[in-house]
Amino acid sequence: MVIHPEVADALAEHRPVVALESTIISHGLPRPENLRISREIEAAVRAGGAVPATVAVVDGEPHVGLGDEALERIALDGSVVKASVRDLAIVAASGGLGATTVASTAHLAAQAGIRVFATGGLGGVHRAARDTWDESADLTTLSRTPVLVVCAGVKSILDVGATLERLETLNVGVLGYRTDRFPGFYLRDSGHALYWTAPDPDYVARVLHAQDALATAGYGLVLANPIPPADELNRARHDDVLAAGLAAADRAGVRGKDVTPFLLDFFHRETHGESLRANVALVRANARLAADVASAYAA
């Protein structure tokens, strides 16, 4: 594993570091804007006083923290594969380019000693899971990975209720940031209640320290941060596009790890960029909040 020197220095000096995933760049956002957006996300982490560590596999080597050239290849190179935890060793051995999901980013970040990670949306249980068994490895990985994931909840392309039930079974704590409603990515409220609310970054940092002390740090934690009010999508429009996207995926016979990228792309096209703007706004807000939590934790 290659740890970028800036990240390694920060970790050695116990300064705040925030891990960032790369599948969102390569498979969640359209080219070529994704490159500019990935830099904006890193800038949001810096604005919060932390060092960004974007994670990816470059020429077979897992990297924690990417230089400019590597970030550009992950964003623009068409050969980049979406790599979850089970794919890491295969992409590594084949010497290829791999974009890491929430699961594989969390795994590598934890190996590097990074405790806080920001992304857009967590993977979860898909709506037809009763028949397809399609549940993201993000969930099972968080059940054994000591990382806090700051996200805007899960997309309504998923079965949100089932995802929350699985997180409970897997011992993954869920905190709402200044809310007692689980956010629905493009929408501030997915319709599901949360038990725990965090009022500020210090509170979340205390939870992380308590996890360390109680030896429950082996389990991941989710900090669910609702999209800023001004950036939320119109609910009726959102529901229409979602229904059309699910039907299109079904008709096209999309399966396995292609399902999530297909639905994200469908949303961006059908809303003429409105969902893209929302997506960028929420990731930026999550990056900033993660930096504030990492700073509080380091202090």
Nearest Cα to 197, choosing from 216, 214, 222, 217? 222
d(CA 222, CA 143): 11
Stretch (H or E) spanning 205: helix 201-214
Q: Does 134 bind Mn ion (CB under 5 A)?
A: yes
The secondary structure of 92-145, three-state, reads: HHHCCCEEECHHHHHHHHHHHCCCEEECCCCCCEECCHHHHCCECHHHHHHCCC
CA atoms within 13 A on the CB side of 64: 27
Q: Which does 21 bind (CB under 5 to 8 A by kind): ligand PSU, Mn ion, none?
A: ligand PSU
Q: Does 232 bind Mn ion (CB under 5 A)?
A: no
| Other CB atoms within 10 Å distance of the CB of residue 120 | 27
Q: Is 155 a catalytic residue?
A: yes
Binding string, residues 65-84; x marks residues near ligand PSU by CB under 6 A: -------------------x
Taking contact as CB under 5 A, which single stretch among the options 96-104, 127-135, 141-149, 185-193 is the one that binds Mn ion? 127-135
Query: Of the two residues 28 and 146, which places its CB atom closer to ligand PSU in the complex?
Result: 28
Residues pairing with 293 in the sheet:
none
CB of 213 to ligand PSU, least distance (A): 29
d(CA 27, CA 101): 10
| Other CB atoms within 10 Å distance of the CB of residue 169 | 9
| Other CB atoms within 10 Å distance of the CB of residue 243 | 10
Taking contact as CB under 5 A, which single stretch among the options 101-109, 111-119, 126-134, 206-214 is the one that binds Mn ion? 126-134
- How many residues make contact with ligand PSU (CB under 6 A)? 19
Residues 181-200 that bind ligand PSU (CB under 6 A): 185
Q: Does 24 bind ligand PSU (CB under 6 A)?
A: yes
Binding string, residues 91-120; x marks residues near ligand PSU by CB under 6 A: ----------xxx----------------x
CB of 233 to ligand PSU, least distance (A): 13
Q: Give the binding site for ligand PSU (CB under 6 A).
A: 21, 23-24, 28, 84, 101-103, 120-121, 123, 136-138, 155, 185, 257, 260, 264
Q: Give the binding site for Mn ion (CB under 5 A).
A: 134
